[in-house]
Amino acid sequence: MPQDRAGGPAEPSSSGAGRAWSGHEGAEAFAAVEAATDWLLGYPFVFRALAGAGREDGVLLDFGCGPGRVAGRAARVLGMRIIGVDASPEMLALAREEGTPGAEYHLVADGRVGGLPDACADAAMCNHVLASLPDERTVLEVFTEIHRLLRPGAPFALLTTDPACAGIEYASLRVGEPGVTYGPGDPMPVRLRRTDGTWQAVRNHAWPVETFPGLLERVGFTGVAQHHPTPDEAVGVADPDHARGRDWAAERLRPPLVVTTAVKG
């Protein structure tokens, strides 16, 4: 879930104070997140959004690439070369170990990616990065840097959880507490299921999905649209075995993920 950011993802609650998912231990903990709900209602729909407008054999920017597994799948599905960027050297080390052919990885420092020229990417995705951002200024910094790195007319897909779904336990996550309404940047507890079946508590920030269109337009994106994918829509989009593997009862009741798409103007 919260993928690491230009500034880092949410910090595991067991690790105490300090930088989010910092160090080797934090990176390994994040790599152990199961993300079943994301692989049903999130990443496949991001790939579909970019397949319609990205260039095959072009460059896909993964902003907040984390351990590189989503980028690796995207490269295979979309036929694009990956540029992954992240604020965590440890996450980048794991991403390089993933061994995605032709991929390159760069460190984000102070909101910028050194060594990458303007308009170097043909499409971009940013998955669960904003959950770690505490205020509007840092969200705008991320959107501004993504905008800089995209060529004119290139598509951008943003994957986030919906804080309006607070308190519902999904297959692999629970965001917020029941009955609580979260505003932009509010601290919001999140639980993520690990691959061993246990749960990891993390501290995130809430970003209501209706805040994104205005912020994206402020930095120069156009054509903003939003979509709440459903399990029924996932048939034919997500991996068939994965889609059939559970009943996805909570996901059917209220889908928790939102894909926001836009185009660099």
C-alpha torsion 116→118→120→122, nearest 10: 140
Query: With bands split at pLDDT 50, 70 and 90, how would you rate the model's confidence at 110?
Result: confident
DSSP states of 69-114: HHHHHHHHHH--EEEEEES-HHHHHHHHHH--TT-EEEEEETTEET
Inter-residue contact 82 to 74 (CB < 8 Å): yes
* Residues 195, 163, 183, 213, CA torsion sign: positive
pLDDT score for 5: 32
pLDDT at residue 45, rounded to an integer:
98
Residue 246 is classified by DSSP as: S
Report the C-alpha gap between 7 and 85 in whole angstroms: 11
Q: How far apart, in whole angstroms, are the C-alpha atoms of residue 110 and residue 128?
A: 19
Using a CB cutoff of 8 Å and minimum separation of 24, what contacts does 236-240 make?
237/44, 237/45, 237/48, 238/39, 238/40, 238/41, 238/44, 239/39, 239/44
pLDDT tens-digit series, residues 170-223: 999 999 999 999 999 999 999 999 989 999 888 899 999 999 999 999 999 999
- Whole-model pTM: value is 0.90
CA angle 53, 161, 228 (to 5 degrees): 55
> Average pLDDT, stretch 130-159?
96
Give the model's pLDDT for residue 1.
35
Better pLDDT: 27 or 118: 118
pLDDT tens digits, residue range 30-63?
Answer: 667 889 999 999 999 999 999 976 677 799 999 9
Q: Evaluate if residue 241 carries a pLDDT over 50.
A: yes
